[in-house]
Chains A and B, each alone.
Chain A
Amino acid sequence: MSQLLQVEIISNANPAPNVYVLELDAPTLAQEARPGQFLHLHCASGQDPLLRRPISIHGVNRQTGRVLVMFQLAGRGTALLAERRDGLLEVMGPLGHGFTLVRAGQTGPTAGSGKGKIIVLGGGIGAAPLFFLLQELAAANGHEAPPVRVLLGARSAAQLLTVEPAATLGYQVQIATDDGSAGLHGPVTWLLAEELKQPAEFVYACGPASMLKAVCQLLAEAGVPGEVALEERMACGIGACLSCVCATRQAGGEEHYRRVCVDGPVFNAAEVVWR
């Protein structure tokens, strides 16, 4: 269950220009959090900025009770967070509905169909929550059953921050950059299109809206199920204010607005309605 917690900042790393990784001492969060969930962080000490900021959980260490969040400088809230080196940070979490873990060799809705690989695709800072997903997929399935393909894209090589951690977990990573400074010169969705030429079981994606829209289209064409993690402006973060909605449509149903904070941030790729 989500809690309001004061957690200690252990460290704040700055692995690339404008990107920070906060390490938090938060044993209950580390225990309970699931990939795709987020924390609602209090950035300011006064009333400006007033609202909390949602940031995904980047990774956990259940043994040490540590939780990582990775964020990009976007404005005043993240600028204040970037300055924090130590002391207590007020967080609400873990929040939201995370990724469905596809498990090999199990029955039920989350069973792997055995039809092929799992694809994990991230664009830009959107790759942040995918490291946690890869941690959990490795723990659930090992690396080869089913095989996992990790596809990561960014503007340039310097922003490909999840490649190394993913490799450390034992995954093979394919790369795409907008400027061609590493891997394929082009959007990461080209790598996905290529992968989808062979059977795939499930696709997880997180990144900018334009990328996710393309991902949903590719999945629909290939008939492959998947999940995408969305972002929307949030106030409460807990489903009370209806600020954070996105349009969705369940098969055969009507389009309606659902809350990214509690009904998501992870949604069935086939249900998201893009404009």
Chain B
Amino acid sequence: MSTVVNTTVNLGGILMRNPVTTASGTFGFGFEYQPYLDLRRLGAITVKGTTPLPRRGNPPPRIAETPAGMLNAIGLQNSGVDRVKEEILPRLAALGVPVIVNIAGDTVADYALVARKLDGAPGVAGLEINISCPNVKKGGLQFGSDPQGAAEVTRAVKSVTGLPVMVKLSPNVTDLVAMAEAVAAAGADALSMINTLLGMAIDVERRRPLLGNVTGGLSGPAVRPVAVRAVWQVYKAVRLPILGMGGIGNARDALEFILAGATAVAVGTANFVNPRVTVEIIAGIEDYMRQNGFQDINELIGLAHRSGE
């Protein structure tokens, strides 16, 4: 039974041969995982958050494990857009896999600067605007929790690039749908969700916070129900393709997001547990389609809404 199934999706102009990409910040620039899998099998590779200038990031310890999840406070350590553009993107382009660059900054101008520099960079298929990083003082969540700020960043980026622009939303808001509507109106081509949930943990023996940054972002299986809910609500309200993520660890988890309305999915924390998990998920989705008689993945997107209400 090896019926050919179509897994190609269009994520707001980013064409992916299957709906699986990597979550920014969990997959480096891809090459780190090359010993474990064939990167060319991925639907896209989403790389680490990139800022105008190099960033040191937060002091260690940067992670803490929590039940079925982890907190991180990396603080957007990266080598800056120029080095990413000159040294890394050409090598990634050679793989022939669409590359999504996650961009961040302190100000609207920062986002626009990075976006402008990446316009036309080799291999880049789209930008993911990170307005939802809980681990930096400025930028990040400051835009991600205010619909007007989010719309402003989106417009600024759209005006300087011809690339598809996806806006990554934070679950740390009262009204996620309002955020989604604001960036959709500002011209976003797609939405991605969710970034990590703001959290913290305390070392009871030493009586102090476990993370150097005190608070961090929660990811992993523990956040999945929150993320599925986010995708479900936004899918109902906004007509933009969604990149769903948050605790995806296997094909069934990925399908949950697709059925809730995600056009594609990103796998993050699970890469740390199993470096081959992305390709296993791709194979698992194909198996599911064959076993359940679906020829085209697009039939599954948002399908749960038809029986859900």
A residues contacting B by CB (< 8 A) are: 1-4, 42, 47-52, 92, 232-247, 256-257, 262
Contacts and interface: CB of A to CB of B under 8 A. Distances in A.
B48 to A, nearest CB: 8
B60 interface: yes
A235 B77 contact: no
Contacts of B77: 242, 245, 257
A71 B33 CA distance: 27
B197 to A, nearest CB: 15
A235 B70 contact: yes
Given A1-B35, A2-B35, A257-B56, A243 B63 contact: yes
Interface stretch (B104-112, B140-148, B225-233, B272-280): B272-280
A240 B26 contact: yes
B210 to A, nearest CB: 9
B80 to A, nearest CB: 13
A94 to B, nearest CB: 11
7 contacts: A49-B65, A235-B272, A236-B26, A239-B28, A240-B32, A241-B74, A242-B48
A51 B70 contact: yes
B14 to A, nearest CB: 22
A42 B276 CA distance: 14
A47 B276 CA distance: 16
Interface in B141-170: none
Question: Main SS of chain B's interface residues?
Answer: loop
A250 to B, nearest CB: 15
B69 A50 contact: yes
Given A1-B35, A236-B271, A236-B272, A257 B68 contact: no
B35 A242 contact: no
Given A233-B63, A246-B60, A4 B74 contact: no
Contact of A245 (B60, B70, B220, B276): B60
A257 B220 CA distance: 25
A42 B271 contact: no
A247 B212 CA distance: 13
B306 to A, nearest CB: 31
Given A48-B68, A50-B70, A241 B28 contact: yes
Contacts of B249: 47
A1 B27 CA distance: 18
A26 to B, nearest CB: 16
A29 to B, nearest CB: 13
B28 A240 contact: yes
Contact of A47 (B25, B56, B68): B68
Interface in B248-300: 249, 269, 271-276
Contacts of A247: 59
Given A42-B273, A50-B221, A51-B272, A242 B74 contact: yes
Nearest to A260: B60
B57 interface: yes
Contacts of B35: 1-3, 238
A219 to B, nearest CB: 23
B273 A241 contact: no
A33 to B, nearest CB: 15
B222 to A, nearest CB: 9
A50 B28 contact: no
Contacts of B63: 233-235, 243
A256 B28 CA distance: 18
Nearest to A4: B36
Given A47-B68, A233-B63, A235-B70, A245 B26 contact: no
A2 B31 CA distance: 13
Nearest to A95: B35
Given A235-B70, A236-B271, A257-B57, A243 B221 contact: no
Contacts of B275: 4, 92, 236, 238
Interface centre among B26, B249, B272 (most CB of A within 10 A): B272
A2 B35 CA distance: 7
B176 to A, nearest CB: 25
A3 B33 CA distance: 10
B181 to A, nearest CB: 32
Contact of A4 (B26, B269, B276): B276
A236 B220 CA distance: 13
A102 B275 CA distance: 34
B27 A240 contact: yes
Given A50-B70, A239-B32, A257-B56, 9 more contacts: A1-B35, A50-B221, A51-B273, A236-B26, A239-B28, A243-B63, A243-B72, A243-B74, A244-B62
B61 A50 contact: no
B175 to A, nearest CB: 30
A180 B86 CA distance: 58
Contact of B56 (A48, A51, A243, A256): A256
Contacts of B72: 235, 241, 243
